[in-house]
Amino acid sequence: WGKEGHIMVCKIAEKYLSASAAAAVQELLPEAAGGELSTMCPWADQMRFRYHWASPLHYANTPNVCNFKFSRDCHNSRGQQGMCVVGAINNYTDQLYSYGDPKSSYNLTESLMFLAHFVGDVHQPLHVAFEKDEGGNTIMVHWYRRKANLHHVWDVSIIDTVMKNFYNRSLDTMVDALKGNLTNGWSDDVSHWENCENKRATCANDYAIESIHLSCNYAYKDVEQNVTLGDDYYFSRYPVVEKRLAQAGIRLALILNRIFDKDKADV
Ligand code: ADE
Ligand code: ZN
Ligand code: ZN
């Protein structure tokens, strides 16, 4: 996602944090965050040029097939295993479990900021997509009358158009609407979204599988080089974007609640 998508995911997550998770997040946030996780959620994208090794951690690509297999697909260009968005989520989650351990040598502030960002990214369908087109980055399209690439349409353009059409260009109004949906329209789905049997590892692998399916069934569907994407595409895809932002927020909260409520869960 772009900056706005990441902020929305984290604003939703903040509302679903338990008291102990909220307290731990407050303690880990840097001064510059102003006490809000959401302000730090786009940070990992600004670091993409400084932390070169972290660039592949934003996504995972498949060999042009509509399924995701960790052992086949989760690696960087040098073939190092686990160097993709799913591995990153599990790795930073693992680091955060050392919170409160005086022997921990991790920078848990960075671990939290990376985790919050990557849980957002794994829910952007085209962050789990085809290698050959770099998740839609090499597919040039027109978004209405403007030139864009397909990846950017899903990171930014659909969200911008939704905000403009429905929410008075206001991010906070859109977040409030998504929160409202979580307690009304989607309320029956939320417990399914939260369903994760894995104890200490996350269910990021499942979220990646959902994303590659959405890439094939929605993002790539009926798209070819230089196509114009307008109302037909927009009205059938924006509900997917809204749902993925909400799911990401719910699941980020779930992961953080499990990490920071662990003392209670272990006894
Ligand atoms: N670069 C290469 N593949 C990518 C993807 N799926 N998402 C974002 N950036 C990428
Ligand atoms: Zn992206
Ligand atoms: Zn990213």
> What pLDDT, on a 0 to 100 scale, did the predictor assign at position 112?
98
Residues facing 149 on adjacent strands: 140
Give the distance from CA 35 to its chain's centroid.
Answer: 21
Helix (H/G/I), strand (E/B), else coil: 75:
strand
In contact, 117 and 6? CB cutoff 8 Å: yes
Helix (H, G, I), strand (E, B) or coil at 23: helix
Asked if 96 and 115 touch (Cβ cutoff 8 Å), the reply is yes
Taking CA atoms only, the protein residue closest to ligand 1 atom 10 is: 134
Convert the pLDDT of each residue in 124-177 to its tens digit: 999 999 999 999 999 999 999 999 999 999 999 999 999 999 999 999 999 999
Pocket of ligand 1 (CB under 6 A): 58-59, 61, 126-127, 129, 134-135, 137
178 CA distance to ligand 2 centroid (A)? 21
Query: What pLDDT score does 267 carry?
Result: 40
Tens-digit pLDDT string for the chain (267 aa): 999 999 999 999 999 999 999 999 999 999 999 999 999 999 999 998 899 999 999 999 999 999 999 999 999 999 999 999 999 999 999 999 999 999 999 999 999 999 999 999 999 999 999 999 999 999 999 999 999 999 999 999 999 999 999 999 999 999 999 999 999 999 999 999 999 999 888 999 999 999 999 999 999 999 999 999 999 999 999 999 999 999 999 999 999 999 999 665 544
- Cα of 139 from ligand 2 centre, angstroms: 13
Taking CA atoms only, the protein residue closest to ligand 1 atom 3 is 134
Residue 29: name the closest of 37, 21, 19 by CA: 37
Q: Tokens 């799913």 sit at which residue?
A: 86
Q: Which two tokens stand for residue 236?
A: 């059938």
Task: DSSP letter for 54, please.
Answer: G
Where are any strands of DSSP class E within the chain? 60-62, 128-130, 140-143, 146-149, 228-229
In 3D, which of 249, 234, 87 has the Cα closest to residue 153?
234
pTM of the entire predicted model: 0.97
- Tell me the CA distances in angstroms from 195 to 59, 93, 199, 201, 255, one per residue in order: 23, 17, 11, 13, 11
What pLDDT shows up at residue 249?
98
